[in-house]
Amino acid sequence: MIAAVRSGSTLLRMLLNSHSRIRAPHELHLRTIGVELSPGYSETSMEELGLDRVELEHVMWDRILHLELLRSGKDRIVDKTPGNVFIWKRLHYVWPDARFVFLLRHPEGVISSLQNRKDNTTTRDALEATALKYFKPLEEARRALDGLTLRYEDLTADPEKATREVCAFLDVEWEPGMLEYGRHYQGQFVPNLGDRSDTIKSGRIQAARTFDGVTGLPPRLAKYATAWGYA
């Protein structure tokens, strides 16, 4: 999944993970998992195999997802880490057959959600800068890769239709139990690895706060609202 922070990716993860064939674990943060080669034998040995540090990281990423699938007993895995927007080219290189779901949210919705976080003391300008840091590579990935684009507002307004689209895209049958994710989510919240608000913990899909058009948005945000169909 390719999505900015505060875009509803935790909700979509919970819905998908409630499917009998889809494993959608907590955020994996693959991009911050690194490999260090000690100078000497290991470095020389891997060089002879044509494996540098980056390629070895890719091997480890693949193994992490493989083990998680085995443990879950399912046959599809979805990673919803927002930081995926920064490594979308690497993800496409490692898994060229991966299916990318792009989850969008009105820019003001993202910023409003950031602003409403507990103990937030960040200025509006800083929050906009944070959102834009994600929006730019997200849109680059959306334009470069084949995939399914889904809007958070549409997901909450008609969750059955949206999840049916995602299931069809992932080539699995839709299951009505997905919409009752509260029956499946026990133990799935990990501190600092996704949204743990009372809203998401309620186990119920709640309507998204909506924002109309681009009125009041600075140009640097308005262009994304327009590109994503909110104008």
User: What does the chain look like in DSSP terms, one character per residue?
Assistant: -EE-TTSSHHHHHHHHHTSTTEE--S---GGG----PPTTHHHHHHHHTT--HHHHHHHHHHHHHHHHHHHHT-SEE----GGGGGGHHHHHHH-TT--EEEEE--HHHHHHHHHTSTT----HHHHHHHHHHHHHHHHHHHHHS-EEEEEHHHHHHSHHHHHHHHHHHTT----GGGGGGGGT-TT---TTSS---HHHHT-S--PPP---SSTT--HHHHHHHHHTT--
Look at the chain and report how many structural domains it folds into. 1
pLDDT score for 134 = 98
Which pLDDT score, from 0 to 100, does residue 187 have?
54
pLDDT at 200: 75
158: in domain: yes
For 113, the domain range is 2-22+79-227
Quick one: pLDDT at residue 199?
Answer: 74
Q: For residues 5 and 198, which has the higher predicted lDDT (pLDDT)? A: 5
pTM flag (> 0.85): yes
pLDDT tens digits along 99-144: 999 999 999 999 999 988 777 878 999 999 999 999 999 999 999 9
Residue 67 counted as domain residue:
no
What pLDDT is recorded for position 22? Answer: 97
Residue 127: what pLDDT?
Answer: 94
Q: Residues 152-170: what's their mean pLDDT?
A: 97
Please check whether residue 54 lies inside any domain of the structure: no
More confident residue, 202 or 24: 24
Mean pLDDT of 90-98: 97
Look up the CATH number of the domain holding residue 184. 3.40.50.300
pLDDT at 186 over 60: no
